[in-house]
Structure 1
Amino acid sequence: MRNNQLKQPFQYDKIPIKSLQVVNKRKRAKDTTGTIKRIWSYLAKEKGKLSLVILMVMISSGLGLLGPFMIGTAVDKFIVTKQSAGLATLLISLLFIYLFHSLSIFLQNYWMVGIAQKTIYTLRKDLFHQFHRLSISYFDKRQHGELMSRITNDIDNVNNTLNQSVIQIFSSVLTLTGTVAVMLYLSPILTAVTMVIVPIMFLAIRWITKRTGPLYKLQQKNLGEVNGYVEEIVSGQHIVKTFSQENRVIQEFEERNKDLNHAGFWALTISGFIPKVMNMLNFLSFGLIALAGGILAIYGYVTVGVIVIFTEYARQFTRPLNELSNQFNILLSAVAGAERVFRVMDEKQEETDEKAAKELTTIKGHIQFDHVYFGYENSTILKDISFEAKPGESVAFVGHTGAGKTTIINLISRFYNYDKGEIYLDGTPLKLITRSSLRQHMAFVLQDTFLFQSTIRENIRYGRLQATDEEVIQAAKDANAHEFITKLPNGYDTMLDQQGSGISQGQKQLITIARALLAQPKILILDEATSNIDTITELKIQDALKRLMHGRTSFIIAHRLNTIQEADKIILLEHGKIVEHGSHQELLELKGKYYQLYKGTALEQVDKNGLKI
């Protein structure tokens, strides 16, 4: 089900102003000023080039003001007096002024592009690094496509703004200030006449930006949701088609797309009023200057040249205001994107290692749980868990969905921190071991295989990047993967995508087992590694897993009891507690719940409790 942005229908086309007011209340930026300051902190890293840009902007603004002033001077000196002496010199001066004006604009744009690209490079790098500092729980709660939108659409939005808006805003402010100063010098009365349009312009721009700002923020939010939904549906296209849900997902996409369309339509429509309003005010300003200037010229208060200068300066006066209003809308859109980026960067990172935490170079693989408790958001999942896995032993977990099997694995790998009790590795509490060194001694073979978009060789080598080609091939042989790999057209150099298209699910699992073998871990995690595999391939996988588990402390999550009978220890979990534990034979002799599950005499109870066996 889609999340509505508003409590009531968001129908811009029927009641736009009312809807915009609702959006404005609900979507107002929490800290626009703070976001702009943070963007500036990235720009400030290029102070040298930024100083050159500012210098070029000052030069171009000054030359832009000097040109019209000299044209007005030419009118008074040469046209009104009908004298030509010195006119050639003035025209040549004008030519150089406009040439240097164009050169300064080119240089400021050239340097600003470099600054913007370096800033975006650093921002994107920081965001990507932040992704790797966040805990697994953060990614579990969010759409991956929506997060991808932060590093693509939102940052690109900031990039476009830095390239286009920063210079124009600064240039507009300088031009506006210089224009007003020269106008006051030439004629305070005509300046006052020109300023008549300022309050009208201010009110019009305020009315427009008050409505477009929230809509740009909503547009960015809706864009992220659309990207997230598309990424989710494309990844799950096989499931969509299997259950014939094409029409439903198309309808849900259309709803999200409609929200995005509405927000973008009204943001661009309302912001599009700005040029029209500015053109109307320009015509009004020219009319007022012509009328007032003519009267003042008749009485000798100003010259014809001054009127010409004011006519041009009036355009230069409204142009910066027009640019400022337009860039303000673009800036609001960029701030909306930057807020989303910084929101990720401000998320709580995975807890840092304790100061006393140490790096482990070698381990034996002795794991002990001592009265461990753990919960998610005030909901206790594991309760008083205690067990021991000696080096080289295999421990299997069985139980219904939600019993806590995967949670125990997440605690061993420190994807989550336990609340109470203690977990020991070779007698050392896990919290006193750095996460990186702990995970370097672990390998995972999961139910959902993941392969990178690379060759089979490099996918296997991911287990140990410094491994030689010979070691990669040997790992594939031990995993029973070498035979099918060599039959592929390009062998180990066969390119795979993330879904592993072109090879079967079982073959993908064999590749992940080869990857784990190459890593040479002391602790092994197997999560339903043989599920959904045909019988022949399952035998190959089980044979490969025996080699992989040999001499290693192994933790196995299994739903099919026939896959764990050889485990040294089997732990039956129920509602976060250990209810039975022992070897397969010991649990059968106990004739408890495990015995009932294995003998199949409690199938009705199994169905009722949702147990998967």
Structure 2
Amino acid sequence: MSRGVDPTRRSRDVKGAVKRTVAYLRPERTALIIVVALMALAVAAQVYGPKVLGQGTNLIVAGMVGRSMPAGATAEQVIAGLRAAGEQRMADALSTMDFTPGVGIDTGQLARVLGLALVLYVASTLLMWISSRMIAGIVQRSGYRLRAQVNEHIDALPLSYLDSHARGDLLSRVTNDIDNLTQTLQQSLSQIIQSVFTVVGILAMMVWISWELSLIALIVVPVALIATALIAKRAQPHFGTQWRATGEVGAIVEESFTGHEIIAAYGLQSASEADFAKHNEELANAVYRSQFISGTIMPTMNLLSNISYVLIAVVGGIRIANGQMNVGDIQAFIQYSRQFNQPLAQLGSMVNLIQSGAASAERIFDLLDAPEQRPDTSAAHLPPNARGVSFEHVRFSYKPGVEVIRDLSLTVEPGQTVAIVGPTGAGKTTLVNLLMRFYEVDSGHIRIDGIDIADVDRDELRERFGMVLQDTWLFEGTIADNIAFGKAGASRADVEAAAVDTGVDAMIRTLPEGYDTVISEEAETISAGEKQLITIARAFLADPQILILDEATSSVDTRTEMLVQQAMTRLRAGRTGFIIAHRLSTIRDADVIVVMEDGDVVETGNHDSLLAAGGHYANLYQAQFAGIGMGEADD
């Protein structure tokens, strides 16, 4: 089972992944429009703030200059006097100020200016808070829809896809990758909108104040874009490796936990730890490289920002000295230059976040793009008590060109119990998978009471079946809950009646809490035989028309096997039954025994007739009871 792909692969289509992710926000477009409008107002208020503060600075400077000069003259007379005295530079500097000789700072006007600045910043903060709250709702609702779609898609995937992918990796896509994607949207969506508006707004204010200084600030932009693109290009492959390796580590941990007893029994702890260490190291290296490389974006942007800041400060000082700009405008422009570079730096720093989210998005979309099983036609419906089954020239292969079932034809009459035996790899379990439509036949037909199951809705088809498998599955809950799982809406009386009818009731009542005994997910509190008896009671409660028993007694001791056999005999009464077994002693009373080998039916008959024929079944029977034995696990 392959856990992943080539660790050196590059991210295939970041732009496409981002585009598909944005598509999940379409149902929220009304809320997004409101968010954009709120952020535009918030940014406008924030951007206008430095200009207002610049006016306050001009009032303070003008007041200080006016207070230092004698009253009685006008500003124009003072400037003319300075020029006459040869103080040309001082005269140029004062010409940009609105001062009155002998008059100090206009505190009333200054208070109004500062009050306006305070209102602008408070309004900006409040609008940002509202928009951030709305974005959180937008992202979480979109994540909810994405999870629902992934879950629905998994339900529609063919069993072949789930069989060929590690469960831990699939779980990582549904949990880690979706969480990473939603976190990316949560953190980047508001910043992107805010940064774009901030760059546009600040640029407009900078051009308004001085288009010459704006050119200096704009020199940084193309350099920053080129630097960011080069760094992002190097970091992206490592983000893809990071999330693929996360899935692989999850798969290894899941396999180690579920199979820890086998690992310990075979002394493979060191090998398991080595496998984990290998993939954990790959994950650590990928995270280190992706974060280190992408982390250089912010320092690079800060360097370019500081260079721009120094150039603007120098040129601005010269323009003040030459009387081309006042102090307040230079102060506002320097503030704008710092704010202008900040959203650019934020956009640059978000590249690593977006790359990480895009890598997760690709893994999610790979899962969503996996072809679903053939849609149901619902062209036919099974009769109320359908029990007859026929296989007509059925062919099937898991891999193209490697047939597992070859031209199989078999007829099972209603109410018959058919045992299917044969060596490992003969195709016994495959037959059941085809009957349940877990896989689709390559050619031929499987019919129930003359109705081709390919024309029947899968849910309707599977409602007619009951299954007791070699690998029992019990969920964490009470025994009563596990039995009731077989029938929706089953009452406690129904559960206990099913347990009594299958002979399980006595065993359950010996447990500490009886039917209310809580079992863990792995059901470690009860034995393998007790698990099997509970699953038989569950199948009995479901009251199926066709029963499938797949190696139901292979993992129990002889005494428990007798109890399970008795329960299965009661369960099979009046139903068409398929029994897959390696223990030939368990199928001696079957109406028909079908011997399979290499995907073909090689013998058919009952126990006595097949023994008398001295063919494949007789050889299997003699080999088993002679102690040579057969494999205890099916294909």
- The bucket for the TM-score relative to the shorter chain is over 0.9
1:390 maps to 413
The alpha carbon displacement at 1:370 in A equals: 1.3
Call closer, same or farther: CA 1:364–1:355 in 2, change over 3 Å: closer
Q: Distance in 2 between matches of 1:475 and 1:242?
A: 37
Question: What residue ranges of structure 1 are gaps of 5+ in the alignment?
Answer: 11-22
Q: Answer yes or no: is the 8 Å Cα contact 1:456–1:496 preserved in 2.
A: yes
Q: Secondary structure at the match of 2:25?
A: helix
| 1:497-536 matched pairs, under 5 angstroms | 497-536=520-559
Q: Which amino acid aligns with 2:45?
A: L
Q: Answer yes or no: is the 8 Å Cα contact 1:560–1:612 preserved in 2.
A: no
The alpha carbon displacement at 1:49 in A equals: 2.1
The alpha carbon displacement at 1:612 in A equals: 8.3
Aligned with residue 590 of structure 1, among 613, 616, 628:
613
User: 316-325 or 32-41, which moves further after superposition?
Assistant: 32-41
Q: Answer yes or no: is the 8 Å Cα contact 2:24–2:146 preserved in 1.
A: yes
Q: Which amino acid aligns with 1:77?
A: L
User: 244-253 or 326-335, which moves further after superposition?
Assistant: 326-335
2:31 maps to 49
| 1:349-388 matched pairs, under 5 angstroms | 349-354=372-377, 356=379, 358-360=380-382, 362-378=384-400, 379-388=402-411
The alpha carbon displacement at 1:510 in A equals: 0.4
Q: Answer yes or no: is the 8 Å Cα contact 2:4–2:248 preserved in 1.
A: no
Q: Secondary structure at the match of 1:92?
A: helix
Q: Deviations over 1:331-387 (max 9, x none)?
A: 11111112211211121112111252x333613310011111111221111111111
Q: Answer yes or no: is the 8 Å Cα contact 2:429–2:634 preserved in 1.
A: no
Q: Distance in 1 between matches of 2:269 and 2:440?
A: 41
Q: Deviations over 1:547-586 (max 9, x none)?
A: 0111111111111111111111111111111111111111
User: 395-404 or 487-496, which moves further after superposition?
Assistant: 487-496
2:327 maps to 304
1:490 maps to 513
The answer as to 2:302 corresponding to 1:319 is no
2:304 maps to 281
Call closer, same or farther: CA 1:74–1:350 in 2, change over 3 Å: same
Q: Distance in 2 between matches of 1:385 and 1:305?
A: 91
1:32 maps to 14
The alpha carbon displacement at 1:81 in A equals: 4.5
Q: Which amino acid aligns with 2:559?
A: I
The answer as to 2:56 corresponding to 1:74 is yes
Q: Which structure has the greater CA radius of gyration? A: 2
Q: Distance in 2 between matches of 1:66 and 1:320?
A: 16
Q: Answer yes or no: is the 8 Å Cα contact 1:361–1:437 preserved in 2.
A: no
Q: Answer yes or no: is the 8 Å Cα contact 2:294–2:351 preserved in 1.
A: no
Q: Distance in 1 between matches of 2:214 and 2:364?
A: 44
The alpha carbon displacement at 1:244 in A equals: 0.8
What RMSD over aligned residues (CA atoms) do the two structures have, in Å? 2.1
Q: Which amino acid aligns with 1:323?
A: Q
% identity of equivalent residues = 38
The answer as to 2:264 corresponding to 1:241 is yes
Q: Which amino acid aligns with 1:297?
A: I
Q: Distance in 2 between matches of 1:476 and 1:80?
A: 96
Call closer, same or farther: CA 1:4–1:121 in 2, change over 3 Å: closer
1:148 maps to 171
Q: Answer yes or no: is the 8 Å Cα contact 1:399–1:612 preserved in 2.
A: no
Call closer, same or farther: CA 1:426–1:600 in 2, change over 3 Å: same
The alpha carbon displacement at 1:114 in A equals: 1.0
Call closer, same or farther: CA 1:534–1:404 in 2, change over 3 Å: same
Call closer, same or farther: CA 1:150–1:601 in 2, change over 3 Å: closer
Call closer, same or farther: CA 1:610–1:564 in 2, change over 3 Å: closer
Call closer, same or farther: CA 1:610–1:530 in 2, change over 3 Å: closer
Q: Distance in 2 between matches of 1:46 and 1:560?
A: 60
1:465 maps to 488
Q: Secondary structure at the match of 1:438?
A: helix
Q: Deviations over 1:381-430 (max 9, x none)?
A: 11111111111101111111111101111111111111222111101111
Q: Answer yes or no: is the 8 Å Cα contact 2:52–2:116 preserved in 1.
A: no
Q: Distance in 1 between matches of 2:430 and 2:283?
A: 38
Q: Deviations over 1:61-87 (max 9, x none)?
A: 111101111111222233244332410
Q: Answer yes or no: is the 8 Å Cα contact 2:239–2:287 preserved in 1.
A: yes
| 1:104-143 matched pairs, under 5 angstroms | 104-143=127-166
Q: Answer yes or no: is the 8 Å Cα contact 1:396–1:555 preserved in 2.
A: yes
Call closer, same or farther: CA 1:256–1:316 in 2, change over 3 Å: same
Q: Secondary structure at the match of 1:306?
A: helix
1:226 maps to 249
Call closer, same or farther: CA 1:438–1:611 in 2, change over 3 Å: closer
Q: Answer yes or no: is the 8 Å Cα contact 2:2–2:166 preserved in 1.
A: no
Q: Distance in 2 between matches of 1:111 and 1:512?
A: 48
Q: Distance in 1 between matches of 2:59 and 2:15?
A: 50
1:342 maps to 365
Q: Answer yes or no: is the 8 Å Cα contact 1:369–1:387 preserved in 2.
A: yes
Q: Answer yes or no: is the 8 Å Cα contact 2:3–2:169 preserved in 1.
A: no
The alpha carbon displacement at 1:595 in A equals: 1.3
The answer as to 2:500 corresponding to 1:477 is yes
The answer as to 2:85 corresponding to 1:63 is no
The answer as to 2:448 corresponding to 1:425 is yes
Call closer, same or farther: CA 1:543–1:611 in 2, change over 3 Å: closer
Q: Answer yes or no: is the 8 Å Cα contact 2:53–2:114 preserved in 1.
A: no
The alpha carbon displacement at 1:5 in A equals: 6.1
Q: Distance in 1 between matches of 2:424 and 2:239?
A: 43
Q: Distance in 1 between matches of 2:524 and 2:610?
A: 42
1:15 maps to none
The alpha carbon displacement at 1:602 in A equals: 10
The alpha carbon displacement at 1:460 in A equals: 0.6
Q: Answer yes or no: is the 8 Å Cα contact 1:161–1:334 preserved in 2.
A: yes
Q: Secondary structure at the match of 2:477?
A: coil
Q: Which amino acid aligns with 2:11?
A: R
The alpha carbon displacement at 1:487 in A equals: 2.3
Question: What residue ranges of structure 2 are gaps of 5+ in the alignment?
Answer: 65-104
Q: Secondary structure at the match of 1:530?
A: coil
Q: Secondary structure at the match of 2:325?
A: coil
Q: Answer yes or no: is the 8 Å Cα contact 2:378–2:457 preserved in 1.
A: no
Q: Distance in 1 between matches of 2:234 and 2:30?
A: 37
Q: Answer yes or no: is the 8 Å Cα contact 1:400–1:611 preserved in 2.
A: no
Q: How many residues align?
A: 593
Q: Distance in 1 between matches of 2:512 and 2:632?
A: 44
User: 130-139 or 277-286, which moves further after superposition?
Assistant: 277-286
Q: Answer yes or no: is the 8 Å Cα contact 2:592–2:604 preserved in 1.
A: yes
